[in-house]
A and B are shown apart, each in its own frame.
Chain A
Amino acid sequence: MKPAEFYQRDRTLQPPALTPDYKTSVARSPRLAMLSLQGSLSEITGPTFGHSDIDPIDNDLIKNYAKSGDPVGERIIVHGRVLDENGRGVPNTLVEIWQANAGGRYRHKKDSYLAPIDPNFGGCGRTLTDADGYYFFRTVKPGAYPWRNWVNNWRPAHIHVSVFGTAFSQRLITQMYFEGDPLIAKCPIVATIPDQRAIDQLIAPLDLNAAVPLDCLAYKFDIVLRGRRSTLFENRLEGN
């Protein structure tokens, strides 16, 4: 039984393009409806990655840019599984993350926030999930930072997450937030998501079981990509 089409993306749980409280979306959102396609070979395939593409240290943000010592900040592990909507782990898929340092400053030439750069922190990492879809990173907890939207907007602490899955139609970029952060409820970017359950799904709980005593705390973040049906009856997808 071969897998076939991906489940339709549930747009009621996804942010629409136009969300005026997030001001940049106003001029960057299409006004016309998208054209919905059934999956063809162009959509059910996608890039694949292997261990030759990355290095083992790439998932350790405490060490992968360390110059004179460890970065300053709260040491944490971020771990979890990449799953599909059927609850199956997605193995061997590329997970990439990026984030600000403990003070909310990004190592990016366009970031001019007054909080200082950390000389020992780059802020990016990448890894491949294992056979069960499991991944982990070690990093420091990012700080909140201000941004020019309303005059006093602050992003909650967050880590940007990019995942591929097995198909180009599963491609996803999202953001992970931290349990208990009071800024989550105030953020216009979080509020682009129209459904509270979908917001909750982006908030990583503290995971003391995965913490390393006297070393670092841990947060658990599962990422769900689109699932797909199995072919119970003949499907007409060319090539299957």
Chain B
Amino acid sequence: MVQALPYLKESASQTAGPYVHIGLAPGAAGFDIYRQELGQIIAGPDVPGERIRIEGLVYDGTGAPVKDILLESWQADANGIYPHPEDPRHGEVAPDFRGWGRIITDFDSGLWSFETIKPGPVPGRNKRVMAPHISLWLVSRGINIGLNTRMYFDDEDNSADPVLGLVEQENRRRTLIAQRTAPGVYRFDIRLQGEGETVFLDV
């Protein structure tokens, strides 16, 4: 035998279940309890940048919309700065910029949407620049461990993005790119399984 390594192991994930709203969005569950629910304002009204709305559906493997999904988003401000101490420029982040959002679907249609500002490009690894993107994390009943993905914009130059470039099959890269459908509006559908399956990330 050798010496044991001292590390702990990460707690195992479990599905968020059908009633995730009780904990994370009680208003949607049908009751009022907290002074404020978290994650509803990503960028305060005075945060500079282009105001955008992103909307979409999450489809399951049968092509049906998933109506009990919960998404969280994480993004940089318009200058590509994260409001977090490990961003070397975080002292310059836009005031009142939260960067994080919590988004639930409409129970009847499955449609979700959120309003934010368009992020700027962010420094990547090895001095490469990442194209503007928003990180997304999806949980729901039937999803055992939260699914990570990224959303890029079809009106940006994504050709040199180091993460998109890692997607081996070029035709799959478009599953990560939102389509501009109107001024300031982007559509981003996520397919959990099957044809057009979204690229998910082990981050």
Question: Residues of A at under 8 Å CB distance from B?
Answer: 7, 9-11, 13-17, 19, 22, 24-32, 34-49, 53-55, 58, 64-65, 83-87, 94, 96-99, 106-111, 122-124, 126, 160, 162, 166, 168-169, 171-175, 189-190, 192-193, 195, 197-199, 201-202, 223-227, 236-239
B130 touches A40 (CB 8 A): yes
- Give the interface SS of chain A, mostly helix, strand, loop or mixed: loop
Set of chain A residues within 8 Å of B200, measured between Cβ atoms: 30, 34-35
Interface residues of B in 79-109 (CB under 8 A from A): 82-84, 86-88, 98-100, 107
Set of chain A residues within 8 Å of B30, measured between Cβ atoms: 107-109
C-alpha spacing A112/B12, complex, angstroms: 29
Set of chain A residues within 8 Å of B24, measured between Cβ atoms: 96, 98, 162
Known: A122-B33, A193-B12. 5 other contacts (CB 8 A): A25-B143, A40-B125, A65-B33, A108-B18, A160-B23
Name 17 interchain pairs, CB-CB below 8 A, sorted by A.
Answer: A11-B202, A15-B13, A30-B147, A30-B192, A34-B201, A36-B202, A42-B122, A47-B100, A54-B34, A98-B22, A107-B29, A123-B23, A162-B24, A173-B15, A193-B14, A202-B11, A202-B14
Q: How many B residues have CB within 8 A of the partner chain?
A: 82
Set of chain A residues within 8 Å of B18, measured between Cβ atoms: 108, 110-111
Of A41, A55, A85, most B-chain CB atoms within 10 Å = A41
Set of chain B residues within 8 Å of A64, measured between Cβ atoms: 33
B167 interface residue per 8 A CB criterion: yes
- Give the interface SS of chain B, mostly helix, strand, loop or mixed: loop
B53 interface residue per 8 A CB criterion: no
B145 touches A15 (CB 8 A): yes
Contact of A14 among B15, B87, B145 (CB under 8 A): B145
B192 CB, nearest partner CB in chain A, Å: 5
Taking CB as reference atom, which chain B residue is nearest A94? B38
A173 touches B8 (CB 8 A): no
Nearest 7 pairs of A and B residues by beta carbon: A98-B23, A24-B142, A47-B100, A45-B84, A28-B142, A15-B144, A109-B30
B194 interface residue per 8 A CB criterion: yes
Of A25, A49, A171, most B-chain CB atoms within 10 Å = A171
Set of chain A residues within 8 Å of B76, measured between Cβ atoms: 41-42
A-contact bits for B1-45, CB 8 A (1 contact / 0 none): 000001111111111111111111010011101111010000000
B199 interface residue per 8 A CB criterion: yes
B61 interface residue per 8 A CB criterion: yes
Set of chain B residues within 8 Å of A171, measured between Cβ atoms: 72, 137, 146
Taking CB as reference atom, which chain A residue is nearest B126? A236
A47 touches B74 (CB 8 A): yes
A239 touches B88 (CB 8 A): yes
Set of chain A residues within 8 Å of B107, measured between Cβ atoms: 110
C-alpha spacing A230/B190, complex, angstroms: 36
C-alpha spacing A212/B64, complex, angstroms: 50
C-alpha spacing A37/B88, complex, angstroms: 21
B144 touches A17 (CB 8 A): yes
Set of chain A residues within 8 Å of B9, measured between Cβ atoms: 10, 13, 85, 197-198, 201, 224
B8 touches A58 (CB 8 A): no
B123 interface residue per 8 A CB criterion: yes
Given known contacts A34-B201, A45-B86, A174 and B12 CB-to-CB distance under 8 angstroms:
yes
